[in-house]
Amino acid sequence: TFSQFFRLENDIRYKTQLSPKVTWANRAIVGLGISYGSSYFLPYGYQFFVGGNNSIRSFLARGVGPGIYKHTNSVAGQFVGNNNGDIKIELNTEMRYKLNGFFSPALFVDAGNIWMYKDSYIYGDGALFTKNFYKQFAIGTGIGLRFDLQFVIFRIDIATPLRNPWLADTNPWVISDFKNNKNNGRLVTNIAIGLPF
């Protein structure tokens, strides 16, 4: 047996220099994978995910989706594994300020999610892509510090969720939880090499 599928992904980037010291960078990623024939799902290595230091930085890697699904530590949750999907939409925008030749702060907003293309008996109906997909976006914001060592850029991003899609049935906007120091509002620190996009 072998996997039968096709997969498309497009990464669109736009950057503009607003002033000698200020750069506005944007990125949009759209991906689609469809399995057919003997395959019900995409192979694990070809599935999409969001979250992490080059994606939606206010969530851990593979920490969002699909759809409104929330990963748990239950036996069923361990069987499902990491949060992966067949469809991906991700939007990122970042304002970069060059303070000097070594140090550059940044302000950013990230949004997106992943979904299943076919009926998912593992994740449930809330994981399927629908016309209301935009209502299931995870959104986060944060600040970043970039240290340009000439041969490499060392980056630290500190972010917090603004919207958790798995809370869609109650109130997905969690910025007030962060102010009240509740579990849903948290700081996520990302340490990486190079710019996110």
Question: Of 139 and 71, which is predicted with more confidence?
Answer: 139
State the pLDDT at residue 82: 67
State the pLDDT at residue 174: 86
| Arithmetic mean of pLDDT, 150-161 | 94
Structure tokens at 174: 């969690």
Q: Is the pLDDT of residue 49 over 70?
A: yes
| Arithmetic mean of pLDDT, 33-55 | 90
15, β-bridge pairs: 25
State the pLDDT at residue 168: 74
Per-residue pLDDT tens for 72-115?
655 445 444 568 999 999 999 999 999 998 999 999 999 999 99
Q: How confident is the model at residue 170 (pLDDT cuts 50, 70, 90)?
A: confident
Question: Of 157 and 185, which is predicted with more confidence?
Answer: 157
Q: Can you list the positions of beta strands (E) in 5-67?
A: 5-17, 22-35
Q: Is the pLDDT of residue 3 over 70?
A: yes
Closest by CA position to 34, among listed 71, 103, 86, 73? 86
Q: Is the pLDDT of residue 140 over 70?
A: yes
Q: What is the pTM of this model?
A: 0.86
Closest by CA position to 64, among listed 25, 99, 111? 111
Confirm if 111 and 137 have CB atoms less than 8 A apart: yes
| Arithmetic mean of pLDDT, 123-143 | 91
What contacts 51, CB < 8 A, 6 or more positions away?
59, 60, 61, 62, 63, 64, 83, 138
Mean pLDDT rounded to a whole number for the chain: 88
| Arithmetic mean of pLDDT, 38-62 | 91
Secondary structure element (H or E) that encloses residue 79, with its range:
helix 75-80
State the pLDDT at residue 122: 76
- Give the span between the Cα atoms of 139 and 163, in whole angstroms: 5
On the CB side of 26, CA atoms within 13 Å amount to: 8
| Arithmetic mean of pLDDT, 180-195 | 78
Structure tokens at 67: 């759809």
Q: Which of 85-89, 142-146, 165-169 has the lowest mean pLDDT?
A: 165-169
State the pLDDT at residue 81: 52
Q: For residue 173, what are the CA distances in angstroms to 15, 49, 135?
A: 29, 21, 11
